Amino acid sequence: MKEDIGLRLKAIRTQFNMSQRALARQCGVANATISQIEAGKLNPTVSMLKKVLDGFPVSLGEFFGDEFDVRDRVFFRAAELTEIADGGVSFRQVGANLTNRAIQLIQECYQPGAGTGKHAITHEGEECGIILNGRLEITVGEQTEVLRKGDAYYFKSNQPHHFRNTGNDVCELISACTPPTF
User: Which pLDDT tens digit goes with each residue over 121-174?
Assistant: 999 899 999 999 999 999 999 999 999 999 999 999 999 999 999 999 999 999
In a domain, 58, yes or no: no
Contact 63, 85 (CB under 8 A): no
126 and 167 together in one domain: yes
Domain assignment of residue 75, given as a range: 64-178
40 and 75 together in one domain: no
pLDDT the model gives residue 68: 40
83 and 149 together in one domain: yes
In a domain, 28, yes or no: yes
CATH number of residue 25's parent domain = 1.10.260.40
In a domain, 52, yes or no: no
10 and 97 together in one domain: no
87 and 143 together in one domain: yes
CATH number of residue 105's parent domain = 2.60.120.10
Q: Does the global pTM surpass 0.85?
A: no
Please name every residue paired with 109 in a beta bridge, in sequence order, or none if there are none. Answer: 90, 172
CA 80 to chain centre: 17
In a domain, 117, yes or no: yes
In a domain, 14, yes or no: yes
174 and 137 together in one domain: yes
171 and 101 together in one domain: yes
The total number of structural domains in the chain stands at 2
CA 75 to chain centre: 22
Which tens digit of pLDDT belongs to each residue from 23-81? 988 888 898 999 999 988 888 888 888 888 888 777 777 787 765 444 467 888 888 78
In a domain, 49, yes or no: no
In a domain, 32, yes or no: yes
Which tens digit of pLDDT belongs to each residue from 161-175? 999 999 999 999 999
81 and 154 together in one domain: yes
For residue 177, give the H/E element and its range. strand 171-178
Given the DSSP bridges, would you call strands 143-148 and 135-140 parallel, antiparallel or unpaired? antiparallel
113: left (phi over 0), alpha (psi -120 to 50) or beta: left
Percentage of residues in the chain having pLDDT higher than 90: 42
68 and 34 together in one domain: no
In a domain, 154, yes or no: yes
The contacts of residue 24 (CB under 8 Å, 6+ apart) are: 30, 31, 33, 34
Within the chain, where are the H helices? Answer: 2-15, 20-27, 31-38, 46-53, 60-64
Percentage of residues in the chain having pLDDT higher than 70: 93
Q: Is the sign of the CA dihedral 99, 105, 109, 110 positive or negative? A: positive
138 and 104 together in one domain: yes
